[in-house]
Amino acid sequence: MTTKQIKTEIQKVLDSIPDVVLEDILNYLKNIQGKSPDAISLSQNLRKILAEDSELLERLAQ
């Protein structure tokens, strides 16, 4: 996919998202703006691990 195609697809998705979520998305985009690709990749990997292991983390917390 080209950058233009990706932006078009993102716009389509944004048009269908409830307004209450749009501010969170904007804040996330502003947060990653200017970060290095390595920092973004690290953040994505951590988020993926936390999402995949949420059940394990809940059990450990108890």
Q: Is the pLDDT of residue 56 over 80?
A: no
Higher pLDDT among residues 4 and 52, named by residue: 4
In percent, the amount of the chain with pLDDT more than 90 equals 31
Whole-model pTM above 0.95? no
Instruction: Give the pLDDT confidence score for residue 36 in this predicted structure.
Output: 92
**Cα dihedral angle (44, 51, 29, 36), rounded to 10 degrees?**
-10
CA distances to 14, 26, 46 from 20, in Å = 12, 11, 25
CA separation for the pair 34, 13 (Å, rounded): 23
Higher pLDDT among residues 47 and 3, named by residue: 3
Domain boundaries, given as residue ranges, for the chain? 20-61
Model pLDDT for residues 9-32, shown as the tens digit of each residue: 999 999 998 888 899 889 888 988
CA separation for the pair 50, 37 (Å, rounded): 20
Number of H helices, E strands in the chain: 4, 0
